[in-house]
Amino acid sequence: MSTSQAKGANPLDNEEMLLVLQQSLTKKRVLIVDRHSPARDSMRLMLGALGVTLVHGAGNSAEVIRQVKANRFDIVLSDFVLDDGRDGQQLLEELRHAHLIPLSTVY
C-alpha cells in the first residue's frame, strides 16, 4: 500500500488524470513551429485529442514572428531545425529579447 493510499487519499485513475489534463489545456493557445506541414498537422491532432482547440502553426521563423505579434501563446512547440538558418533555441532567444513572448510562455 502506498503512502497516499495509507493516508486515505484517492489516487486518480488514468481517465480522471486525462480529464484533468484536458480541462487544464482547453483554453491554452498553442503555436506549433515545424517546417514540415504533416508534422504540424499530426501535432494539431494529438493536441486536439487532449482538448486543445486554440492551435496555430508556423513553418518558418518569419511566420512565427508574425504569429506572436498577432496572438499571445501559452505554449510554443518548436522543431529544433528551421529552414532559415536558425534553430529553435535561437528563435526563442530572439523572441524573448524582442519581448514578443512573455516569460510565462512555455517553449
Quick: pLDDT tens for 23-80: 778 889 999 999 999 999 999 999 998 889 899 999 999 999 999 999 999 999 999 9
Q: Is the pTM of this model over 0.85?
A: no
Fold entry, domain 26-107: Rossmann fold (3.40.50)
Measuring CA to CA, which residue among 55, 61, 59 is closest to residue 93?
61
Alpha-carbon distance of 94 to 83, in angstroms, equals: 16
Contact 30, 73 (CB under 8 A): yes
pLDDT band at residue 1 under the 50/70/90 scheme: very low
Q: 3-state DSSP helix/strand/coil percent for the chain, to nearest 5? A: 45, 15, 40
How many CB atoms are located within 10 Å of the residue 79 CB?
18
Every domain of the chain and the residues it spans: 26-107
